[in-house]
């Protein structure tokens, strides 16, 4: 099937693109800046330049397309977003009709249109009406809160729960919603390609539970073992709430205000049409949160750290970058030695060999861990055989071992969170590039405090170790294989 995907650079669109590509569809992605999307192209993925507010760019983009996904909205615009969304929808509807598109699939927002909805929700539903009235058969999926690592709502819940030991809860956190797991939402979008319809269809979709933002935060805290004091207050306007969110979460104040205004009203499914038309068994909120955290673990393990800043939800902060909840410190150096020679040095760290630079500081950290009831540095490392996954390395354990390119260690010392240390070696020209990444998944405020307390020592310990590995690898280049063996 030939598919046009708008909004592919967004959260939902990005997840959908991966699934569509796996299903071997031909996908054309419409974006205003194709150069920024270049790394995601493939044999069946084409990227074209276009702007929904410029009708002249849409004709060629829609040529030869069977089904078009409309996954764009202007929530982040400072002003005039309703007019911008209206114009974009009208342009797209007209172009889709003229191009003979067989179906439009649109993701809108849940909300009872008999009530006085927020401008954001009102605009989302107006876009759906414009697309349905185009004459092109349209499936409008209306969803509430989307739960997934990197989604706006999930990152809001995460930030509030992780950063604030005491939370002031305005009335809007008690309003009922029907959150949906991102995986379930993607299934609705995929099945919308082929379900039989006559004319257009509005389908309300949601998860298995009806609960509030406050209940979602409590469930997140339970799964993360966080203890928080939650104090309800009778009055806190969306404007004040949005300023507060802007201070303590990654959400921009204006986006936060539109989000809060939208959840002042219940956003729940009012009929069973979705269960009659689609083959999706929606997950509970607890399952959705658990899945979001597990997905983040997989993405963290699989992501190449050379590209960590491009990961969903990452941003520049004091002390490194972020990957979801994780705090990251990355050191990189060019080594005038082959990848094999560089990795040869990497896999000797720990145990009797020490940590190549400031080993005494590592031993101090091990002693402190012993005092706290941890394993300390007593376990050392295997000495009579090659390393393998699962081996202990002082107070680390080997989680990934892929010579001559990658060694990842997970921490087993006592910490207010989880920690990893990763070494990656890549060929570059006549030498290699070594990247040493320390990453930490903090547990609440105590975890973040710990990270920033020890961060000043990272430059000494990890910076020194990175340089020492490079120097040792360079020196090993002039020795025979027997001389550099373990």
State the pLDDT at residue 31.
87
The architecture in CATH of the region 2-297 reads 3-Layer(aba) Sandwich (3.40)
The answer, yes or no, to whether residue 299 has pLDDT greater than 50, is yes
Domain boundaries, the chain: 2-297, 304-476
pLDDT of residue 319: 46
CB 443 within 8 A of CB 226: yes
Q: Once rounded to an integer, what is the mean pLDDT over residues 271-285? A: 94
Residues 434 and 232: their CA atoms lie apart, in Å, by 50
Q: What pLDDT score was predicted for residue 241?
A: 56
Record the pTM: 0.69
| Interval 156-199: pLDDT, tens | 788 778 777 887 777 777 888 999 999 999 999 999 999 999 88
What share of the chain in percent tops pLDDT 70? 83
Across the range 457-480, mean pLDDT stands at 82
Residue 253 has pLDDT above 50, yes or no: no
The larger pLDDT score, comparing residue 103 to residue 33, is at: 103
DSSP state of 283: P
Residue 89: predicted pLDDT: 94
Asked whether the predicted pLDDT for residue 465 surpasses 60, the reply is yes
* Cα angle 166-168-173, degrees, rounded to a multiple of 5: 120
| Bigger pLDDT: 112 vs 104 | 104
Could you give the CA distance from residue 252 to residue 227 in angstroms, rounded to a whole number?
26
Question: Does residue 91 have a pLDDT over 90?
Answer: yes
For 59-68, what is the mean pLDDT?
94
Q: Give pLDDT tens digits for 3-50.
A: 999 988 888 998 899 889 887 789 999 988 777 665 556 678 888 988
Give the tens place of pLDDT for each residue, 380-390: 888 778 888 88
Torsion of CA 166, 171, 177, 180, to 10 degrees: -30
CATH for 304-476, among 3.30.530.20, 3.40.718.10, 3.40.640.10, 3.30.1490.20? Answer: 3.30.530.20
Positions of E strands within 183-339: 201-204, 229-232, 316-317, 320-323, 326-335
Question: What pLDDT, in 10s, does the model give residues 419-434?
Answer: 999 999 999 878 999 9
Confidence of residue 310 (pLDDT cuts 50, 70, 90): very low
At 210-237, the pLDDT tens digits run 998 889 989 999 998 888 888 887 665 5
Lowest mean pLDDT among 7-11, 320-324, 344-348: 320-324
With b meaning 16 or more CB within 10 Å and e meaning fewer, what string describes 120-158?
bbbbbbbbbbbbbebebbbbbbbbbbbbbbbbbbbbbbb
**Mean pLDDT in the chain?**
82
**What token pair was written down for 6?**
């708008």
What pLDDT, on the 0 to 100 scale, is given for residue 157?
81
Q: Would you say 249 and 184 are in contact if contact means Cβ atoms under 8 Å apart?
A: no
pLDDT of the residue at 386: 86
Q: What pLDDT is stored for residue 315 in this prediction?
A: 38
């Amino acid at each position: 099937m030939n598919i046009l995907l708008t909004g592919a650079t967004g959260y939902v669109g990005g997840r959908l693109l991966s699934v569509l590509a796996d299903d071997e569809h031909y996908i054309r992605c419409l974006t205003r800046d194709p150069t920024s999307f270049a790394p995601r192209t493939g044999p069946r993925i084409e990227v074209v330049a276009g702007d929904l507010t410029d009708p002249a760019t849409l004709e060629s983009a829609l040529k030869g397309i069977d089904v078009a996904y409309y996954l764009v909205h202007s929530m982040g615009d400072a002003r005039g977003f309703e007019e911008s969304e209206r114009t974009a929808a009208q342009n797209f509807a007209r172009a889709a009709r003229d191009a003979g598109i067989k179906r439009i699939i649109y993701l809108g927002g849940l909300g009872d249109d008999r009530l006085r909805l927020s401008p954001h929700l009102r605009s989302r539903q107006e876009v759906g009406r414009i697309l349905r009235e185009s004459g092109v058969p349209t499936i409008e999926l209306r969803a509430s809160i989307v739960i997934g690592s990197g989604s706006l709502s999930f990152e809001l819940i995460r930030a509030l729960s992780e950063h604030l030991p005491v939370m002031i809860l305005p009335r809007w956190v008690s309003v009922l919603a029907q959150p949906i797991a991102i995986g379930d939402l993607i299934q609705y979008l995929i099945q919308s390609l082929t379900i039989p319809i006559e004319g257009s269809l509005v389908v309300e979709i949601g998860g298995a539970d009806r609960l509030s933002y406050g209940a979602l935060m409590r469930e997140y805290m339970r799964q993360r073992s966080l203890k928080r004091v939650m104090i309800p207050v009778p009055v806190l306007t969306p404007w004040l709430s949005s300023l507060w969110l802007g201070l303590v979460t990654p959400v921009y104040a204006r986006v936060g205000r539109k989000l809060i205004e939208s959840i002042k009203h219940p956003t729940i499914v009012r009929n069973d049409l979705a269960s009659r038309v689609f083959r999706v068994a929606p997950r509970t909120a607890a399952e959705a949160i658990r899945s979001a955290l597990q997905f983040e673990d997989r993405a963290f393990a699989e992501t190449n750290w050379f590209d960590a800043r491009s990961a969903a939800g990452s941003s520049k902060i004091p002390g490194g970058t972020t990957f979801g909840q994780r705090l990251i410190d990355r050191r990189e150096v060019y080594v005038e030695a082959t990848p094999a020679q560089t990795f040869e040095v990497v896999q000797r760290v720990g145990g009797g060999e020490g940590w190549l630079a400031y080993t005494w500081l590592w031993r101090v950290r091990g002693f402190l861990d012993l005092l706290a009831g941890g394993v300390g540095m007593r376990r050392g490392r295997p000495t009579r055989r090659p390393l393998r996954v699962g081996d202990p390395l002082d107070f680390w354990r080997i989680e990934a071992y892929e010579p001559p390119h990658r060694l990842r260690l997970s921490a087993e010392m006592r910490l207010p969170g989880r920690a990893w240390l990763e070494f990656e070696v890549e060929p570059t020209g006549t030498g290699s590039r070594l990247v040493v990444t320390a990453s930490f998944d903090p547990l609440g405020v105590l975890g973040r405090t710990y990270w920033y307390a020890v961060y000043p020592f990272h430059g000494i310990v990890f910076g020194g170790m990175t340089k020492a590995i490079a120097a040792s690898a360079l020196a090993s280049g002039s020795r025979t294989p027997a001389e550099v063996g373990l």
